[in-house]
Structure 1
Amino acid sequence: MNYRHAFHAGNHADVLKHVVLLALCDALTSKPAPCFALDTHAGRGLYRLDGEAAQKTGEAQDGIARLIAETPRQPAIRRYLAAVQACREQHGAHSYPGSPWLLAHALREQDRIALCELHPEEAQVLGSHFEADPRMAVHARDGYAAIKALLPAKHGAQKFARGLVLIDPPYEAQLDEFDFALAALREGLARWPQGMFALWYPIKQRRSLHTFYRKAAGLSAKSSLLLELLVRPDDSPLRMNGSGLLLLNAPWQFDGLMQPALAAMAGALGETGASARVEWLKAPL
C-alpha cells in the first residue's frame, strides 16, 4: 500500500487523524508548561483539494466535504472544522491542512515542533511553508530514525516534560510497516516515557491486525487506547475500509471525549456497515 498524502488529503482517514490530533494538542495546551511535538512523516503540510493528485482520487468528497455538509455538534469535530476553515481563510477555499499546519495552528508561541519528511521534494515544500515560523524545525530525514535522534525532547538547554509524537507512515511495506512502527514506539517510550505517542494505521481486514494489537498491548506505556473508524465493513483486502490510531499515554478521560466524535464520524462518512471503535488495550491505572 502506497499512501501518499497528496492523493488522499481530506479523506476519512485524514478526518479521523486530524480530529484526534487537535484534541491531543488541546490537552497539551490546557496546562501552561511548554510542550514539544514531533511529526515523523509530515508530508508537505498543506494541500490543494483542487489539485491534480486530490482530484484524481476524489476522496475528499467522501471525507471533509461530507463532514462539513453534515455539521456535527460534537465539540471535537467542531474544533477540527474550525481549524479547516481557518486554513481556508488563510490559504484559499480549496486548501486542506496537513498535520504540520494543524500543529502550528493549535500549539503556542512557547511550544516547539519538529517535522520530518524523507522525500526531497515534499521536504522542500514543507520547509517553504514554515520557514518564517521560529517554532518549527523541518528535517529532511527518516522519521523513525528521528525518534532516536530528537528524543528526549529539548530545545537548547530547555527540556520538555510533555509532548506528542505523531507517527503517520505511508505503509509502503504493508504489514511489515507495523514492525517498524512498533520498534519506533519502543525506542520512543524508552527515551521519553512520559510523552504521548499516536500511531496511525490503515485497516483493510481487521483480523490481519491481531498480532499488531497483541504487540501494542505489550508496550511499556502507562496506557494504550485504540481509536478506529471503519467507513464500510472490513471484508475486502483490496481497499482501505477504515483506519485507526494507537494512542500511548493518552490524556485523562480521552476515550469519553472521542467516543461520541467517532460515532458521529461513522454516521456522517460511512456506508452501510460503518462502525467506530474506542477500546483500551491497556487501561490507565
Structure 2
Amino acid sequence: MFSYRHAFHAGNHADVLKHTVLIATLEYLLEKDAALTVVDTHAGAGLYRLDGDYADTSGEAANGVLRFFAKAKTDVPLADAIERYLAVIRDFNPRGGAKIYPGSPFIVQHLLRDHDKLKLYELHPTDAKTLDANIAQLDAGRQIAVLREDGFLSATKFLPPPSRRALVLMDPSYEIKSDYGRVLDFAGEALKRFATGTYAVWYPIIPRPEAHDLPRRLKTMATKAGKSWLHATLTVKSSKVITEPTGEVKRPGLPASGMFLINPPHTLKAKLAEALPQLVERLAQDRNASFSLDAGG
C-alpha cells in the first residue's frame, strides 16, 4: 500500500504539466482579495532534490523540467504559463539550475498570501514525516495543516471553507486501480458539498481501461452538474512495449498524463493553447509526442 514514492518521479514531464496548470489556475484564483483554501489530497514529501539518490535512480527529471534549464535550441519566447512555472522553480534555486524541485505543497505555499489556507494530506509514513519536517522550516504557523489521514475520506470536511473559495488538487499515485474510482467518488461528494469550488485532477494515461474512463466520467459528472470543465493531455512518447531480438522486454515508463478541471479559470484554455505545443516541442521523446485540449460547459 505504501510503495509509491514521488521522489523517484519528481520533475518529470507529468510534473511539468501538472504544475504548469496548477500555477496558472492558482494565480488566477489569487487575483481576488477574499481568502482561498487549497486542499491537496496526496501531498507527498513537498520538496525533492533532483541531484539525490531517488531522482538519480529514475533520471526522469532529465526528460522533464531539466530540459528547460539546458541550452535552448530556439529563440522563440516561452508561453506565459511556462514562464510562470519556471519562475517558481527558479525561486527555489537562487544559485541557478534546478537541484531543488518543489512539489505541489511548496508551489502552492510559495504563491499563497498570509490570509489563505493550505490543507495537506499524506498517508505514506516516510513522506508524511518528511513533509512535516519540510513544512516546519517554513514557520507558516496556522496557515498550513498537515494531516496524516486519507484525503479521499476526510478532505471534504474543509468544504465549503468560510470564504467559500477553494481549489482542491487530487493526484494519487494510481498504483492501486481503485484510486480511479475513489477520485470520482470524492469529486462527486465534493461537488455536492461545494458546487462552486475549483477541482483539479491529475491522472496518468496508461494502457488501463480505468485511466481512459476517468476523464470521460469526470466530463459527464461536470456536465450533469451544470459546471464548466477543461481537459488537457500531454503525450511525450509511444506507449508500446518493445521486445528486443534478445527477448528483452522494454517498457516505456509513463508516456502521457492529463489534467482535468471542474470550474476552471476562464483564462486557462487560452493559456494552455499557447503552452501545450511548446511543452510537446521541449519534452518530446519520440515522434509520437502530442497534446490535446478540450473544454466545455
TM over 0.5, yes or no?
yes
Cα distance in 1 between the residues matched to 2:208 and 2:265: 25
Deviation (angstroms), 1:146: 2.5
| Paired AA for residue 218 in structure 2 | A
* 1:12 paired residue number: 13
Cα distance in 1 between the residues matched to 2:43 and 2:36: 18
**Correspondence 1:252-271 to 2 at 5 A:** 252-270=266-284, 271=286
Deviation (angstroms), 1:160: 2.1
| Matching of residue 121 in structure 1 with residue 126 in structure 2 | yes
| Matching of residue 144 in structure 1 with residue 152 in structure 2 | yes
Tell me the TM-score normalized by structure 1: 0.90
| Paired AA for residue 231 in structure 2 | L
| Paired AA for residue 263 in structure 2 | N
Tell me the TM-score normalized by structure 2: 0.87
* 2:81 paired residue number: 76
Cα distance in 1 between the residues matched to 2:228 and 2:277: 22
Deviation (angstroms), 1:150: 2.3
* 2:247 paired residue number: none
| Unpaired runs of at least 5, structure 1 | 154-158
8 Å CA contact retained: 1:68, 1:81: no
| Paired AA for residue 42 in structure 1 | A
8 Å CA contact retained: 2:167, 2:198: yes
Shift in CA distance, 145/90, structure 1 to aligned 2, threshold 3 Å = farther
Range with bigger deviation, 7-16 or 255-264: 255-264
Matched position secondary structure for 1:128: helix
8 Å CA contact retained: 2:169, 2:200: yes
* 1:247 paired residue number: 261
* 2:58 paired residue number: 57
Cα distance in 1 between the residues matched to 2:268 and 2:186: 23
8 Å CA contact retained: 1:67, 1:265: no
8 Å CA contact retained: 2:199, 2:263: yes
Deviation (angstroms), 1:28: 0.7
The structure with the larger Rg is 2
| Matching of residue 164 in structure 1 with residue 172 in structure 2 | no
8 Å CA contact retained: 2:206, 2:256: yes
Cα distance in 2 between the residues matched to 1:209 and 1:92: 34
Range with bigger deviation, 53-62 or 139-148: 139-148
Shift in CA distance, 65/189, structure 1 to aligned 2, threshold 3 Å = same
| Matching of residue 99 in structure 1 with residue 100 in structure 2 | no
- Listed one character per residue, the Cα deviations across residues 17-75 of structure 1 (whole Å, up to 9, x for unaligned) are 11111111101111111111001100010000111111000000010110223485111
Identity of aligned pairs, percent? 40
| Matching of residue 272 in structure 1 with residue 287 in structure 2 | yes
| Matching of residue 227 in structure 1 with residue 232 in structure 2 | yes
Deviation (angstroms), 1:148: 2.6
Cα distance in 1 between the residues matched to 2:20 and 2:80: 10
Cα distance in 2 between the residues matched to 1:214 and 1:20: 19
| Paired AA for residue 189 in structure 2 | E
8 Å CA contact retained: 2:165, 2:197: yes
Aligned residues: 276
Deviation (angstroms), 1:4: 2.3
| Paired AA for residue 118 in structure 1 | L
8 Å CA contact retained: 1:232, 1:242: yes
8 Å CA contact retained: 1:197, 1:248: yes
Range with bigger deviation, 253-262 or 64-73: 64-73
Return the match for 1:204 from 203, 206, 222: 206
Cα distance in 1 between the residues matched to 2:82 and 2:164: 28
- Listed one character per residue, the Cα deviations across residues 183-235 of structure 1 (whole Å, up to 9, x for unaligned) are 01001111111110011100124876443233112212611211110001344
* 1:133 paired residue number: 140
Cα distance in 2 between the residues matched to 1:212 and 1:98: 23
Deviation (angstroms), 1:85: 0.7
8 Å CA contact retained: 1:197, 1:247: yes
* 1:194 paired residue number: 196
